[in-house]
Amino acid sequence: MFDFVQKFIYWVLSLQEKRLKHKLGGSLKRSFSNSTSKIVFSKSDSLKLNSMTEKNKERLEKEVKIILKHCENNPDKVFEFIEKKGTKVHKIPFAHKILKLIGLEEGLVAKLNGIKALYLTSVLAVLGKENKISLTTKPMFVMRDLPLNSYYTIQQFHKWYATKLDMPGFDAKSQEHFQKYLDNINDESIKSLSMEEIIGLKEAIARDVEAINFVISLAKSTEGAKNALNKMATEKGASV
C-alpha cells in the first residue's frame, strides 16, 4: 500500500507540472490557498507558503504520540477518546459493503456533500444511528463491529486528528478525488481537474502518506524496543 501511494504521488506531481505549464503559459501569476497553505505560481517557478501546515504537522506528530501513550495504544480507548471529542463512531453490519457503494472505505469518513451524504445518513438513520437525513455530514467513523487492529486504528486516529487541526486535504471534493483515483490511477478524467482540485488531491494524498509513515515509524520503534528488551533478558539469563 505504501509503495503504491508513493508512486501515485509522483504520478500526480508529474501531471501537475504538465498542467501548470499549459494553464500558466499565458498568465503572469496565479495563487491558490487552502486552510493553512498558500501556493503562488508564476511562469518560471512556484512558491509554497506553508509554514502553518508544517507547524501543524509537527504538532500533530507530538500530540498524537502523547494521546496514544495515554490510551496505551488500545483501540477501544482511542475510539472512546474520539467520541468524547464529539466525533461519532458508528459500528454497523456490512459497513465495508455499504461504504463501497459510494466509493469509500470503512474507518474515517471525511466530510460528505450531496448524494453521498444523503445515502450514508439515510442508511445510518434506518439502522438507528442517526436522527436525521442530510445532504452534508461532519467527519465520522463508520466500521464493522469487529476486533480492531491497533496499527490500523493508529493510522485512522492520525488522520482524524489532522482534521481537528484543520489540515488541508480533508474537504469533501479532495477526499472524493482521492478515493476515486486511488482505485483507478489510469482514469483519464484526472486530466480535467482544475488546478485547485489537483492541489487538493495532492494534499489528501499527503495526509494519507503522513499517517502511513507515522504508523511505520511507530511500529519500527515499538518492535525495536521489544527486541532490545528480549536481548537484555537473554543476555541476563545467559550470565546467571
Cell of 8: 501515485
Q: Where are the beta strands (DSSP E) in 131-226?
A: 136-137, 140-143
Across the chain, which distance is largest between two alpha carbons, in Å? 79
| Residue 61 confidence (pLDDT) | 95
pLDDT of the chain along its 240 residues, tens only? 545 554 555 555 555 555 544 543 443 345 555 666 655 444 444 445 466 788 889 999 999 999 999 999 899 999 999 999 999 999 999 999 999 999 899 999 999 999 999 999 999 999 999 999 999 999 999 999 999 888 899 999 999 999 999 999 999 999 998 888 877 766 678 778 888 888 888 899 899 999 999 999 888 887 654 554 455 345 444 333
Beta-bridge partners for 108 = 141
| Residue 239 confidence (pLDDT) | 35
Could you read off the pLDDT of 65-94 as tens digits, one per residue? 999 999 998 999 999 999 999 999 999 999
Pairwise CA distance, residues 167 & 165, whole Å: 6
